[in-house]
Amino acid sequence: MWLAASSLYLAILSFTDTWFFLHIALTLGADRLLLGLAGAAWSAVFALSNVLLGGVVEAGRNRLGAVTSSALLCLATLAIVWSGGTLNAVVAYSLLHAAATSLGRMAATVTLLEYLSSDAWGRYNFLSNAATMGVRGALLVLAYYGCLSGI
């Protein structure tokens, strides 16, 4: 059950990354420089979050990492949708979404490593990645056809 839930959540994180970036670029009209800065800031916050918050998840607090990631994703979504401007949306994307993605990935990976025997890691990692990409692809197709336009 946790494999399906973590795969779904990782797919949502990946989908929202694409959706947020496109929303900032196309709906809010950010220029190329701001989009480049947003991508760079996102990467920096992602790496910094891994370093600073990795110990929490590695200490066995996977659920705390997952819950914090979910809360950050909710805050990022609200902040970007209600941003009122491009700069506010870029800051929310770069800070909140990057930290949510970092924590979510760490929580899912550590859970995978802790709850499975080492013999099964490869198989479950493959299944998790395949499920994540499948759900992400389905979400992108639904978004393309306007089925998620109310989001």
pLDDT at residue 151 above 70?
A: no
> Could you give the CA distance from residue 78 to residue 82 in angstroms, rounded to a whole number?
6
Ordered DSSP codes for 42-108: HHHHHHHHHHHHHHHHHTT-HHHHHHHHHHHHHHHHHHHHT-SSHHHHHHHIIIIIHHHHHHHHHHH
pLDDT-derived band at 132, boundaries 50, 70, 90: confident
State the chain's mean pLDDT as an integer.
87
pLDDT digits (tens, 9 = 90+) for 39-52: 999 999 999 999 99
Using DSSP, state whether 130 is helix, strand or coil: helix
The CA–CA distances, whole Å, from 27 to 22, 98, 149 equal 7, 20, 12
Q: Token pair for residue 1?
A: 């059950």
pLDDT at residue 150 above 70?
A: no
